[in-house]
Amino acid sequence: MTTDHDRGNTTTEEIRLDAETVACLKAVSDSGQAFGKAIEQGRLSDDENAPHYAGHYMFMGYQGGTGKALFKHIDTRMYID
């Protein structure tokens, strides 16, 4: 079977997302950026043996006024500074 893609033709489809889905996708993007920045700043670590290993934290959003990313430990529920 030959498809349009096999012939070198590409098509694009318009995908419509509802507001809830868009908000969810933005949150995922924001959390990835927040984790990356926190690792760069030394607030979290990508070393699995480090006490502040990023894999043990949840991104909780941003602190109002300061824009600081908030992370909570998955077991202790303690926030990091």
pLDDT (tens digit, 9 = 90+) per residue, 6-56? 556 666 677 776 776 555 555 546 788 899 999 999 999 999 999 999 999
Do residues 73 and 56 make contact, with C-beta atoms less than 8 angstroms apart?
yes
**Its pTM surpasses 0.85:** no
| Six token digits for residue 59 | 């991104």
Which parts of the chain fold into alpha helices (H)? 19-41
